[in-house]
Amino acid sequence: MPKDKAETAAAERPLTGLDVEPAPLSEAMTQYYRKCDEKLGFVPNVLKAYSFDMAKLEAFVRMVDDLMLAPSGLSKLEREMIAVVVSSVNHCHYCLVSHGAAVRYHSGDPHLAETLVANYRAAALTDRQRAMLDFAWKITERPAEIGDEDREALRRAGFSDRDIWDVVLVAGFFNMSNRVASGVAMEPNVEYYGMAR
């Protein structure tokens, strides 16, 4: 299928598998959408999906911005890598596409992003990154098995206890977000596919 037809077909897909009407945007969210459009060239579909309820949309935006952009011992790339690996465990189409694009952007390395999506263990990672992603995978797949030895492995890799808190929060948030995106059949923006390639 030619590129323009593929993009048109993707753009015509419903945003989610639910039929919920968006609410009027608050002034804060109007400004936020404008900022997304200026920075990315589009408004992420996850924001549009939450727009049926301004309280939920504003809470989601605050949490995402705090987890992914606020000062942390984790780099923005590391946080995006966690998002991709958690989403790989959960097979979350929306988050693999959107956060795979973010890994490409922050790393400048499409190969890294695609490998994380498929199998992070095959990626060329630092010891720190591997320990972080091993933890993210385990807390997603087998959370009841997380113990002191897992936190100690992160400490040995150079993470402070405050950093470990951020690893856990980012992994936990994306486990929730994956389930929401999959549960409502959220469709990724077609623009993500070509970003940072």
How would you write 135-156 as a 3-class SS string?
A: HHHHHHHCHHHCCHHHHHHHHH
Q: How confident is the model at residue 5 (pLDDT cuts 50, 70, 90)?
A: low
Tokens of 162: 């405050």
Segment 50-101, tens digit of pLDDT: 999 999 999 999 999 999 999 999 999 999 999 999 999 999 999 999 999 9
| Burial bucket for residue 109 (CB in 10 Å: 0-12, 13-18, 19+) | middle
Does this model's pTM top 0.95? no
Q: How confident is the model at residue 6 (pLDDT cuts 50, 70, 90)?
A: low
Q: Do the beta carbons of residue 178 and residue 95 sit within 8 Å?
A: yes
Out of 10-14, 59-63, 187-191, 193-197, pick the least confident. 10-14
CATH code of the domain made up of 1-8+25-197? 1.20.1290.10
* 3-class secondary structure, 189: coil
Report the C-alpha gap between 54 and 60 in whole angstroms. Answer: 10
User: Could you tell me the residue ranges of all domains in the chain?
Assistant: 1-8+25-197
